[in-house]
Amino acid sequence: MSEPERNDLQQSKEKAIDDWLPITSNRSAKWWYSAFHNVTAMVGAGVLSLPYAMAELGWGPGVAVLVLSWIITLYTLWQMVEMHEMVPGKRFDRYHELGQHVFGEKLGLWIIVPQQLIVEVGTDIVYMVTGGRSIKKFHDTICPDCKNIKLSYFIMIFASVQFVLSQLPDFNSISGVSLAAAVMSLSYSTIAWVASVEKGQPDVDYSYKASTTTGVVFNFLSALGDVAFAYAGHNVVLEIQATIPSTPEKPSKKPMWRGVVVAYLVVAICYFPVALIGYWAFGNAVDDNILITLEKPRWLIATANIFVVIHVIGSYQIYAMPVFDMIETVLVKKFHLPPGLTLRLVARSAYVAFTMFVGIAVPFFGGLLGFLGGFAFAPTTYFLPCIMWLAIYKPKKFSLSWITNWICIILGVLLMILSPIGGMRTIILSAKDYAFFS
């Protein structure tokens, strides 16, 4: 076989694999797919802890952090969308491919992949626990006199749904699940703030939760991690954009950006009323999940919890899809296993089982999230896109673009350093109450 023939064979083999992998197999998405995939990825159950974060930040800093995060993350998301096709004729379908282009083949992988995996796998484990907790809360709300059932069983019920859904081949095939999830996030956010208005206390205390200065400072840092977690959709944005068709005349960035703008408006409609009205209504008496603070009317809280469950089912899939893509790429390209149904069934079921097991074993994983949140969420969302932008486009020193990017990088690095400190203290303080397999 001649050299050109060998190359052709190699290319057709790689194309066949790309046509099978979940991120690149289907490029027929519309702009509104981008809108609801982004809403599902962004508006996690993290929105319900925003009033609690506000209570630890206080009015002034709280509003500033929320608004700044919204602006910075919208800007860095715009950069990601722009960079998707900055090399003519090539698409960076995955976050790490962009990283490899900027930092080099080896280093790019080492910088991006571990952080992306921490975010995606960590979020999926949190969603396992959140899904299980919400089903348990629904069960306990509608049947207060029933026998108490362990959280582990509810996590298993949630996981059983994921075992089935994880077999859907690609992003476009989960668009129905994702749309339902996006609608649910808007619904339970609305329930949370409307019920807060209804139930607000007459004499609300807006002083800090902690009584000591040290407590106030550490809680403040931990709350920064919670806010960073609430804006973590960037880890799947290139993968979502990869599903949109693209030609030189009609690049994918236009429909993608339209979807992102719609998604960010929905994010604002969900986040700001919940955070501000929830804190306004309950002050520092608010729980770390606003739905727990609102105990009545019973039917409304039960409904909101089912909405959370449906939303988290969709969110889990959005974060799992890039992980499935990585696992399947390694198995097929590195270990040369034949692509097909068996490989997919085994690999994806193993991943769902792993997240379920960790969720059951470590049900206090949410506490670890403020800690992990700072390490991985801050870079991939707040400042890695800016570093890549500076490396590729090399804007003139002290130009608007240069200054903007450096401000984002400095704020992002501060967030990365400070929020894990707060998260770590929260873990240490609550460690005595933690029990594995509880």
Radius of gyration (Cα) for the chain, nearest Å? Answer: 22
Confidence tier at 296 by pLDDT (50, 70, 90)? low
Phi-psi region of 262 (alpha: psi -120 to 50; beta: other; left: phi over 0): alpha
> Hey, what amino acid is at 77?
L
SS3 category, 436: coil
**Where is average pLDDT lowest: 26-40, 314-328, 416-430?**
416-430
C-beta of residue 187 within 8 angstroms of C-beta of residue 270: no
Residue 228, domain CATH: 1.20.1740.10
* The pLDDT of residue 422 is above 80: no
User: What local confidence, expressed as pLDDT, does residue 310 receive?
Assistant: 93
* The pLDDT of residue 160 is above 80: yes
C-beta of residue 326 within 8 angstroms of C-beta of residue 239: no
Whether residue 18 lies inside any domain: the answer is no
* The pLDDT of residue 364 is above 70: no
* The pLDDT of residue 435 is above 70: no
Whether residue 16 lies inside any domain: the answer is no
- pLDDT tens, 171-214? 888 888 899 998 998 898 888 888 888 876 667 788 887 778 88
User: What local confidence, expressed as pLDDT, does residue 391 receive?
Assistant: 92
Whether residue 78 lies inside any domain: the answer is yes
Query: Which residues, at least 6 apart from 394, have a Cβ–Cβ distance to it below 8 Å?
Result: none
Q: Give me the torsion for CA of 184, 187, 193, 196, rounded to 10°.
A: -100
User: What local confidence, expressed as pLDDT, does residue 157 receive?
Assistant: 95
Region 140-167: what's the mean pLDDT? 91
Number of domains in the chain: 1
C-beta of residue 50 within 8 angstroms of C-beta of residue 227: yes
User: What local confidence, expressed as pLDDT, does residue 167 receive?
Assistant: 94
Confidence tier at 166 by pLDDT (50, 70, 90)? very high
Confidence tier at 436 by pLDDT (50, 70, 90)? low
Give the residue with greater pLDDT, 304 vs 164. 164
* The pLDDT of residue 54 is above 80: yes
DSSP for residue 437: T
The listed range with the strongest mean pLDDT (70-74, 111-115, 146-150, 346-350) is: 346-350
- What is the domain extent for residue 274? 31-433
Region 365-388: what's the mean pLDDT? 77
User: What local confidence, expressed as pLDDT, does residue 365 receive?
Assistant: 63
Measured N-to-C along each axis, helices 95-103 and 384-393 cross at an angle, to the nearest 10 degrees, of 50
C-beta of residue 23 within 8 angstroms of C-beta of residue 157: no
User: What local confidence, expressed as pLDDT, does residue 257 receive?
Assistant: 95
* The pLDDT of residue 362 is above 80: no
Q: CA–CA separation, 129 vs 159, rounded Å?
A: 10
Confidence tier at 399 by pLDDT (50, 70, 90)? very high
Average pLDDT, the chain: 86
Whether residue 3 lies inside any domain: the answer is no
Confidence tier at 43 by pLDDT (50, 70, 90)? confident
Q: Which uninterrupted H or E stretch holds 422? A: helix 400-430
Whether residue 401 lies inside any domain: the answer is yes
Confidence tier at 81 by pLDDT (50, 70, 90)? very high
**H-helix segments, 242-297:** 253-282, 290-293
Whether residue 17 lies inside any domain: the answer is no
3-state secondary structure 362-381: CCCHHHHHHHHHHHHHHHHH
**Where is average pLDDT lowest: 82-91, 202-211, 377-386, 411-420?**
202-211
Query: Which residues, at least 6 apart from 155, have a Cβ–Cβ distance to it below 8 Å?
Result: 128, 129, 131, 132, 356, 359, 360, 363
User: What local confidence, expressed as pLDDT, does residue 437 receive?
Assistant: 66
* The pLDDT of residue 63 is above 90: yes
Sign of the Cα torsion 425, 427, 428, 430 reads positive
C-beta of residue 285 within 8 angstroms of C-beta of residue 196: no
- pLDDT tens, 309-339? 999 999 999 999 999 999 999 999 889 888 8
User: What local confidence, expressed as pLDDT, does residue 368 receive?
Assistant: 67
C-beta of residue 266 within 8 angstroms of C-beta of residue 186: yes
User: What local confidence, expressed as pLDDT, does residue 212 receive?
Assistant: 84
- pLDDT tens, 90-109? 889 998 999 999 999 999 99
**Where is average pLDDT lowest: 16-30, 68-82, 308-322?**
16-30
Whether residue 347 lies inside any domain: the answer is yes
Whether residue 15 lies inside any domain: the answer is no
Confidence tier at 161 by pLDDT (50, 70, 90)? very high
User: What local confidence, expressed as pLDDT, does residue 425 receive?
Assistant: 77
* The pLDDT of residue 401 is above 90: yes
- pLDDT tens, 273-291? 999 998 998 888 887 777 7
C-beta of residue 306 within 8 angstroms of C-beta of residue 138: yes
Q: CA–CA separation, 287 vs 290, rounded Å?
A: 6
Query: Which residues, at least 6 apart from 382, have a Cβ–Cβ distance to it below 8 Å?
Result: 72, 73, 76, 228, 408, 411, 412, 415, 416
**Where is average pLDDT lowest: 108-117, 252-261, 314-323, 369-378?**
369-378
Task: Using a pLDDT cut of 90, give the percent of the chain over it.
Answer: 34
User: What local confidence, expressed as pLDDT, does residue 434 receive?
Assistant: 64
Q: How far apart are the first and last CA of the chain?
A: 62
* The pLDDT of residue 293 is above 70: yes
